[in-house]
Amino acid sequence: MCSSMASCSRAAARVTCSATRECKPHISGRREVRKMKQFTVTALESGYGGQHIVKGVTLRVEQGEIVAVIGPNGAGKSTLLNTIAGLLPPRSGSVRLNGRDITGIDPEKTLAAGLAYVPQVGNIFPTLTVYETLQVCYVRRDFRTALAEVLQLFPRLGARMRTCAGLLSGGERQMLAIARALINKPFDLLMMDEPSAALSVDNVRAIFDRISWIRENGISVLLVEQNANKALEICDRAYVMESGQISIEDAGSSLLGSDVVRQRYLGVRV
């Protein structure tokens, strides 16, 4: 046990949860693989107090897609994901997953609705070991099978099972945060907020490789990412968000070739 606070962390986790050479993993195993039909956000608005941050955002994610939301700091990207996940109540608009209205959903019911979320902060429990973090977040049956599958995807975690999450490297902490969500599959959509934040170049590459493999194994992904270049390289479509609104929507490859996007968000002089 990492500290005397571990038991408290486990209790909190139950509420919150409802680079080496590695071979290409397969994460579906024998467990059910669900196929998302469509995820839509329509005219969504939200904010904090008197601040109006998300202003009429409309977007969609189709089955088998990686969709990225890029834009400058302060554009409202994280607030958008928090609103979708039920952590912030919407002021208007709707969120629908496979035709079901999940607008303003209770955060503890998101997984049952088919939505998993990896936030940028508060995504691990520092005083729990890697094993405890994964075990306490698991809400389905057959934990051993589920654990084996996520360790195929992130084998580095296998050697760190008895290590406190707070003692992991930045890359390992992000791997654990993603594994914590994936261990409860099947679900329809994985949302991720800034998964490459503060990571080394090697770890950024590893995380984005895993995101691509997650999609290949039947899970659609909605990704908010400050590293616009990497996000556009792997996504099918992307939205540019500025001042709380969507200003551009296009294929990731098209935005990579856009002079406006390259100059504003990729740091390329054109």
Q: Report pLDDT for 189.
A: 96
Q: Has residue 250 been placed in a domain? A: yes
HSE-up (13 A, CA, CB side) for residue 262:
10
For the cut 60, the answer to whether the pLDDT of residue 257 exceeds it is yes
Q: What percent of the chain has pLDDT over 70?
A: 86
Q: Report pLDDT for 264.
A: 80
Identify the residue with better confidence: 270 or 57.
Answer: 57
Average pLDDT value over all residues in the chain:
87
The owner of tokens 């839509």 is 40
Tell me which residue of 13, 22, 77 sits closest to 44, measured CA to CA: 77
Tens of pLDDT, residue by residue over 60-101, are 999 999 999 999 999 999 999 999 999 999 999 999 999 999
Task: Write out the residue range of the structural domain in which residue 220 sits.
Answer: 39-266
- SS3 category, 127: coil
pTM for this model (two decimals): 0.85
Identify the residue with better confidence: 263 or 239.
Answer: 239
Tens of pLDDT, residue by residue over 210-250, are 999 999 988 999 999 999 999 999 999 999 999 999 999 99
- Cα 29 → chain centroid: 21
Give the number of other CB atoms < 10 A from CB of residue 159: 12
Give the number of other CB atoms < 10 A from CB of residue 153: 20
Pairing relationship of beta strands 38-48 and 51-62 according to DSSP bridges:
antiparallel
- SS3 category, 224: strand
Q: What total number of domains does the chain contain?
A: 1
Q: Has residue 12 been placed in a domain? A: no
User: At 123, which CATH number?
Assistant: 3.40.50.300
Q: Has residue 137 been placed in a domain? A: yes
Give the number of other CB atoms < 10 A from CB of residue 99: 8
Q: Tokens for 111?
A: 């997984």
Q: Has residue 11 been placed in a domain? A: no
Q: Tokens for 200?
A: 């080394």
Q: Has residue 19 been placed in a domain? A: no
Mean pLDDT of 16-29: 43
Q: Report pLDDT for 8.
A: 36
What are the backbone angles phi and psi of residue 237, rounded to the nearest 5°?
A: -135, 160
For the cut 80, the answer to whether the pLDDT of residue 20 exceeds it is no
Q: Report pLDDT for 43.
A: 99
Q: Report pLDDT for 270.
A: 52
Q: Has residue 180 been placed in a domain? A: yes
Q: Has residue 14 been placed in a domain? A: no
Vertex 142: Cα angle to 16 and 102 (nearest 5): 40
Structure confidence at residue 152 as a pLDDT band (50, 70, 90): very high
Q: In sequence order, what are the residues at sequence separation of 6 or more whose Cβ sits closer than 8 angstroms to the Cβ of residue 177?
A: 118, 123, 124, 195
Mean pLDDT of 147-155: 93
One-letter identity of residue 192: M
Q: Report pLDDT for 118.
A: 96
Q: What percent of the chain has pLDDT over 90?
A: 71
What are the backbone angles phi and psi of residue 117, rounded to the nearest 5°?
A: -135, 130
Q: Report pLDDT for 122.
A: 80
Beta strands in 119-258 (DSSP E): 189-193, 220-224, 237-242, 245-251
Residue 68 is inside which H or E element, if any?
A: strand 66-70
For the cut 50, the answer to whether the pLDDT of residue 31 exceeds it is no
**Rounded-to-integer distance, Cα 214 and Cα 223, Å:** 12
Structure confidence at residue 137 as a pLDDT band (50, 70, 90): confident
Q: Has residue 20 been placed in a domain? A: no
